[in-house]
Amino acid sequence: MKCIDKFSKKQKKKPSRYQKRHQQKMIKTLFLVVLLILVLLFGALAIFLVSGNRKLKEVLPYNRSQQIFGTMAGEDYPVGKGLADTLCVGEAETPLEGVEAKEGERAGLFAVQEKEIPFATGLYERISPGKVTQLMTVLTAYDKLNPEDSITIASEDMVYGNDFRSCGLSSDTQVTVNQLYNAVLVSSAQDACLALARSAGGSAEAFVELMNQKAQELGMTNTHFANVTGVSDENQYSTVYDLYLLMNRFLEYPDILNAMGLPEFILNYSKADGTENQQWLNCDNLYTAGRISVPKGITILGGKYFSSEAEHYTVLLAQNNYGDAYAILVYGAENETRDEQSCPSDAGKNKFLKFYLKFLIYHCIFERYAL
């Protein structure tokens, strides 16, 4: 006798010929879709790898607060032993077509992203850093002081005489650290330098030692500071290359860079009796102030500038419309008049970056504007 399970599942019907064909088409379609996706992925990867070897960049809007560094250097660019591969390195003398250095000049043009030095003369020879010393004062104090803290100006911070620049603060005046930074960066105020040094180091003399330690940290091995204001001193010296190392570090401090690029500044402070007051400070860098024009497509981020009968120097950070940063340093320059014949009116229309830079360093620095 055969037992039958009434609750057993019904036998499945065999798929029809139409259903088999449909399943086969679905499998083929799914295979083709997967294959197409794989082809597209490999194609996109190939395009990315090929384009990655080119130096094409998207146009970036200019922004002073942006940190402008990080582009890869060319693989074939030589890097000196003992130097970080993130820095520009090169020979003491590197000619640039169209630029003729005058006797006694020490200069360098540094392409920060490319890590190249398109132009250099006397790159490692000693120079007096001048007001650029104050930038080291700010950088050293920046790591020691809270920008929002208040400093009381002391009598030892005061400077007098026509040869000194002051922000006009009197003894017992209270001003924030940040306001003093701006006074130094915009107007090269020496009393502000002394107040920062005293507050951060206990005394100006002790602070100078901190500056020299900072210089060694930056790799400025041919630099020695003797004061915080930039006053000429035989024991205070540097080189164009060492000062490039200093300027390069400011690209990592957008707040300082913003202040360095201000064309003017209103200093806020409190008098000894507690009343609030303001002092207008003009920018002593004619490039930042816009009194010396630069080519279209180049923006001056900041720096220091000085011109007198005895001494002329310019230390600038500049940026193009693509966000590429450049350091331009010239010392020992002659104060020549501008030759209108050598400055073509259509020079600013040229779209090639190298021509812009050549124009910038040649016509705006080596062919000095008459002041």
Q: For residues 134 and 278, state if they share a domain.
A: yes
The answer to whether residue 63 sits within a structural domain is: no
pLDDT tens per residue across span 302-323: 999 988 777 788 899 998 888 8
Q: For residues 251 and 347, state if they share a domain.
A: no
Q: For residues 110 and 151, state if they share a domain.
A: no
Q: For residues 259 and 311, state if they share a domain.
A: no
Q: For residues 241 and 220, state if they share a domain.
A: yes
Q: For residues 266 and 327, state if they share a domain.
A: no
Q: DSSP string covering 79-103, please?
A: --TTS-TTS----S-B-BTTB-PPT
- With 0-12 / 13-18 / 19 or more C-beta atoms within 10 angstroms meaning exposed / middle / buried, residue 173 is buried
Q: Identify the domain containing residue 335 by its residue range.
A: 106-125+295-366
The answer to whether residue 334 sits within a structural domain is: yes
Task: Specify the higher pLDDT residue, 287 or 8.
Answer: 287
pLDDT band at 206 (very low <50, low <70, confident <90, very high): very high
pLDDT tens per residue across span 239-264: 999 999 999 999 999 999 999 999 99
The answer to whether residue 237 sits within a structural domain is: yes
Q: Is residue 60 pLDDT above 60, yes or no?
A: no
The answer to whether residue 55 sits within a structural domain is: no
Q: For residues 272 and 134, state if they share a domain.
A: yes
Distances (CA, A) of 112 to 71, 143, 344: 9, 24, 28
Q: For residues 121 and 182, state if they share a domain.
A: no
The answer to whether residue 338 sits within a structural domain is: yes
The answer to whether residue 165 sits within a structural domain is: yes
Domain end among 248, 282, 316: 282
CB 128 within 8 A of CB 237: yes
- CATH code at position 159: 3.40.710.10
Lowest mean pLDDT among 63-72, 161-170, 291-300: 63-72
The answer to whether residue 260 sits within a structural domain is: yes
Domain count within the chain: 2
Q: For residues 228 and 309, state if they share a domain.
A: no
CB 69 within 8 A of CB 252: yes
Indicate the SS3 state at residue 186. helix
Q: For residues 158 and 257, state if they share a domain.
A: yes
CB 369 within 8 A of CB 338: yes
- Give the pLDDT confidence score for residue 346 in this predicted structure: 35
Q: What is the pTM of this model?
A: 0.72
Task: Specify the higher pLDDT residue, 98 or 41.
Answer: 41
Q: What's the order of all strands across the beta sheet hosting 150-152? A: 150-152, 174-176, 264-270, 276-282
Spatial distance between the Cα atoms of 184 and 193, rounded to a whole number of angstroms: 6
The answer to whether residue 302 sits within a structural domain is: yes
Spatial distance between the Cα atoms of 292 and 287, rounded to a whole number of angstroms: 5
Q: Is residue 360 pLDDT above 50, yes or no?
A: yes
pLDDT tens per residue across span 17-38: 667 777 777 787 887 878 888 8
Domain end among 253, 282, 311: 282
Q: For residues 330 and 243, state if they share a domain.
A: no
In the chain the first and final C-alpha atoms are separated, in Å, by 123
Domain end among 234, 259, 282: 282
Q: For residues 135 and 249, state if they share a domain.
A: yes
